[in-house]
Amino acid sequence: MPVPVYYLDARANSTGTSALSKIRALLAKLVKESPDAVRAHDLCAIKIHFGEVGNDAYISPVFAKAASDAARQAGAKPFFADTNTLYTGSRSNAVDHLETAIAHGFVPEVCGAPVVIADGLRSDDWREVELPSACTRFKTAKIASGFLAADSMIVLSHVKGHEMAGFGGAIKNLAMGCAPAAGKRDQHCVKFQVHDKKCISCGRCVAVCPTGAATIPVGKGAKARIDKAMCIGCGECLAHCAPKAISMDWSVGLDEFTEKMTEYALGALNGKAGRALFVNIVTKVVPLCDCAPWSDLPVVPDVGFLASTDPVAIDQAAFDLVKAAPVWPGSALDGKASAGDDKFTAMHPETLSELQMSHGQLIGLGSRDYELVRL
Ligand code: SF4
Ligand code: SF4
């Protein structure tokens, strides 16, 4: 039987219909359909990405308040949560991460609940959970204690592109977002290489590399090098290299990365059977993750808002809606794709977006068989 995915488009008008009212309506529908998901006295984790400094496509704290209000109406105690990043940047420890969240408006006065960095000060607060035998890449997953200790979850995901996952939605938000640095490292198995002819020796890859794998040897005209033994595959250098001199080494498959990521999403829901709700915000569908310290033009016009109890179904619906949408003129996909094309593969040609959904279905994370229900 198809899983319902509730949908409202992004139109607003003078009769009181706004984006915020639509997100509230979707959450109210979910809570009504699944009254046991978020219960009175729960510590309810609202999983969100606070955005890297410089990014402006992350979910607005004004929208996020709809989730904290929904949790409070159910009698729960909500908190917003994310984990520290693997790479250097504005969210690699809890102090920087909290300051970034505050700078982006995630204060109780705006979003309606406190912020907790779920894997602690230096990303060392986590537990290992067992994964079902259907998982083929991992037997266990390392998940941040703050998420495991929560009674219930509302997973608020911004749908956008990603240089390694292709599509970024609920599955990726759960997988990378609920894992401490050690768990993120487990998932990243892709290696990178430098193309000498394109490298301008700017040193940006060296500056952002968290392990020292990227270096520029001393000497006139020397080009960047990546030590594959030291590289943890975080992709930071790729995202920061302006002349696109860095590429993935395709001898290490993105199928492995994508399946590992999907199995971590299942780990993030450990102990939360029937206790998690999902909302996908399909607006500002930009080429890269909210971890990028900038936001390019969206590649499609704003699609709208989705809600479901199933992370696979909601991601499949988001993927399909973006696929059906026309391309935004002047964006990175202008002239390169059109309505009906897979925008995520068009943006990141070697990635395997839909493997998240197919592998997710295989391991019991959810179902690709959904029914889009327009409220
Ligand atoms: S960021 Fe790119 S161009 Fe700059 S040094 Fe590294 S590989 Fe070369
Ligand atoms: S060289 Fe490897 S570890 Fe360093 S930034 Fe690039 S992907 Fe990350």
Give the pLDDT confidence of 286-316 residue by residue, as tens digits: 999 999 899 999 999 999 999 999 999 999 9
Q: Is the pLDDT at 232 greater than 90, yes or no?
A: no
- Quote the ligand 1 centre to 225 CA distance (angstroms): 9
Q: Residue 74 pLDDT more than 70?
A: yes
Q: What mean pLDDT do residues 238-252 have?
A: 79
Other residues' Cβ atoms within 10 Å of the Cβ of residue 29:
16
On whether the CB atoms of residues 339 and 325 are closer than 8 A, the answer is yes
Residue 43 has pLDDT above 90, yes or no: yes
Residue nearest to ligand 2 atom 4, measured at CA: 209
Please tell me the residue having the least CA distance from ligand 2 atom 6: 237
Q: What percent of the chain has pLDDT over 90?
A: 83
Q: Indicate whether 322 pLDDT > 90.
A: yes
Report residues whose beta carbon is within 6 angstroms of any ligand 1 atom: 194, 199-205, 216, 224, 240-241, 243, 245-246
> How confident is residue 47, by pLDDT bands cut at 50, 70 and 90?
very high
pLDDT band at 247 (very low <50, low <70, confident <90, very high): confident
Written as one letter, the residue type at 54 is G
Candidate from 209, 215, 216, 247 with most ligand 2 atoms within 8 A of CB, to mutate? 209
Average pLDDT, the chain: 94
- The answer, yes or no, to whether residue 135 has pLDDT greater than 70, is yes
Q: Which residue has the higher pLDDT, 102 or 14?
A: 102
Q: Is 271 left (phi over 0), alpha (psi -120 to 50) or beta?
A: left
Does residue 103 carry a pLDDT above 80? Answer: yes
| Averaged pLDDT for residues 261-276 | 98
| Packed helices 170-177 and 311-324: angle between N→C axes, nearest 10 degrees | 130
Q: Which of 3-7, 12-16, 91-95, 335-339 is least confident?
A: 12-16
Residue 252 binned pLDDT confidence (cut-offs 50, 70, 90): low
Q: Give the pLDDT score at 189.
A: 77
The length of the chain is 375
Q: Which ligand is nearest to the CA of 244?
A: 1
pLDDT at position 333 over 90: yes
Inform me whether the pLDDT recorded for 250 exceeds 70: no
Ligand 1 midpoint to CA 252 (Å): 21
Q: Is the pLDDT of residue 271 over 80?
A: yes
Identity of the residue numbered 154: I
Cβ atoms of 39 and 152 closer than 8 Å: yes
pLDDT at 49 over 80: yes
pLDDT at 53 exceeding the cut of 70: yes
Q: Which domains are present in the chain?
A: 3-187+255-374 (3.40.50), 192-248 (3.30.70.20)
Determine the Cα–Cα distance for residues 257 and 191; give it in Å rounded to an integer: 11
**Which one of 192, 195, 196, 205 would you pick to mutate in the ligand 1 pocket, going by the greatest count of ligand atoms within 8 A of its CB?**
205
Residue range 145-150: mean pLDDT, rounded: 98
Q: Measured between alpha carbons, how far is residue 61 from residues 22, 64, 112, 285 in Å?
A: 15, 5, 9, 18
Question: 257-268 burial by CB neighbour count: b if 16+ within 10 A, else e?
Answer: bbbbbbbbbbbb
**Pairwise CA distance, residues 193 & 44, whole Å:** 42
Is pTM beyond 0.75? Reply is yes
